[in-house]
């Protein structure tokens, strides 16, 4: 099985409170109807790619809870409940525990009191990168390394470039040996063992692409990215991300993905 082969997903419907989600730039205001439409298109795309997507109900009291990638990390064999690094998102872990318990026979928790967001975790075939960011601190990252080791998974810590929310804001996996990264991430040296495709100028936000099975999902506002990735022989599918982009989010953030029944 390849690390980007999936047949299951968990997503959560955005509440109307999503417009109050955390964001860096308060000069732009996300639109609820638009965000809901983008989310619906995203779920339809996952289903079209062959995933069974379980849609959890909206949680109005947790504005960022649509970004289900952050409070947990899931694999075929187990799920790990994380501890989101933003105070307003802490409650998402408890809600996610309820969703994961019936779906995973092995559910691990992050020991200690450190913080770790799933957006800072990039799974590659050989090991798992854990980005140190404003959301994932060293204690949380080391605690996550312990849990990953219990699952027989090696991991490496890496600094997230300054001003970048999550590790995966700036990089995604295109295939087993290739990443798609912003120039800053590409220059960091973290991906010295990988082939790097760099985001076209002005399309740095496209770095949060999402490889699912034989397709790469990218934001529809990144035409040059579509061209570049198609030239690399990848099947590209575009999705609207303007509203969720205003919430500093991208395509990976809106689902937890795994391959049920895989060895």
Q: Which helix (H) or strand (E) holds 35?
A: helix 32-48
Q: Which residues contact 112 (CB under 8 A, 6 or more apart)?
A: 139, 140, 143
Q: Does 65 bind ligand CIR (CB under 6 A)?
A: no
Q: Which two tokens stand for residue 164?
A: 């970048």
253 is catalytic: yes
> In this complex, which beta carbon is closest to ligand CIR, that of residue 150 or of residue 163?
163
**CB nearest ligand CIR: which residue?**
119
The active-site residue out of 20, 26, 39, 166 is 166
Q: Which of 35, 249, 251, 256 binds ligand CIR (CB under 6 A)?
A: 249
Environment class of residue 167 by beta-carbon count within 10 Å: exposed (0-12), middle (13-18) or buried (19+)? Answer: buried
* 169 lies in the binding site for ligand CIR (CB under 6 A): yes
Among residues 12, 14, 19, 23, the one that binds ligand CIR under rule CB under 6 A: 23
Is 20 one of the annotated active-site residues of the chain? no
- Asked if residue 64 binds ligand CIR (CB under 6 A), the reply is yes
Is 15 in contact with 247 (CB distance < 8 Å)?
A: no
| 107-109 sheet: strands from edge to edge | 72-74, 79-81, 107-109
Q: Which residues from 185-244 bind ligand CIR, rule CB under 6 A?
A: none
The answer to whether the beta carbons of residues 210 and 251 sit under 8 Å apart is: yes
Among 15, 253, 256, 257, the residue binding ligand CIR under the rule CB under 6 A is 253
Q: Decide: 70 and 118 in contact? Cβ < 8 Å.
A: yes
Work out which of 86, 134, 196, 220 binds ligand CIR, going by CB under 6 A: 86
Contact 133, 160 (CB under 8 A): yes
Number of residues interacting with ligand CIR: please give it, by CB under 6 A: 19
* Residue 70 lies near ligand CIR (rule: CB under 6 A): yes
Q: Point out which residues bind ligand CIR (CB under 6 A).
A: 21-23, 64, 67, 69-70, 86, 89, 118-119, 166, 168-169, 247-249, 252-253
Question: Which residues are tagged catalytic?
Answer: 166, 253
């Amino acid at each position: 099985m390849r690390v980007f082969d999936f047949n299951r997903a968990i997503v959560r419907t955005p509440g109307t409170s999503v417009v109050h989600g955390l964001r860096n730039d308060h000069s732009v205001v996300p639109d609820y109807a638009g965000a809901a439409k983008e989310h619906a298109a995203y779920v339809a795309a996952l289903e079209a790619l062959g995933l069974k997507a379980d849609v959890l109900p909206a949680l109005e009291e947790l504005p960022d809870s649509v970004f289900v990638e952050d409070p947990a990390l899931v694999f075929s064999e187990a799920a790990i409940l994380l501890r989101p690094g933003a105070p307003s998102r802490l409650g998402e872990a408890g809600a996610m525990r309820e969703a994961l318990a019936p779906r995973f026979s092995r559910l691990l928790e992050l020991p200690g009191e450190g913080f770790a967001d799933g957006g800072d975790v990039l799974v590659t075939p050989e090991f798992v990168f854990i980005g140190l960011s404003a959301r994932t601190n060293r204690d949380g990252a080391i605690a996550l390394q312990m849990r990953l080791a219990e699952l027989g998974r090696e991991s490496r810590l890496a600094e997230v470039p300054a001003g970048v929310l999550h590790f995966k804001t700036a990089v995604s996996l295109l295939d087993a040996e290739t990443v798609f990264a912003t120039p800053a991430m590409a220059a960091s040296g973290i991906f010295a063992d990988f082939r790097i495709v760099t985001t076209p100028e002005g399309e740095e936000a496209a770095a949060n692409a999402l490889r699912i099975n034989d397709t790469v999902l990218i934001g529809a506002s990144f035409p040059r990215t579509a061209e570049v990735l198609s030239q690399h022989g990848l099947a590209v599918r575009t999705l609207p991300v303007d509203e969720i982009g205003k919430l500093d989010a991208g395509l990976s953030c809106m689902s937890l993905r795994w391959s049920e029944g895989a060895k």
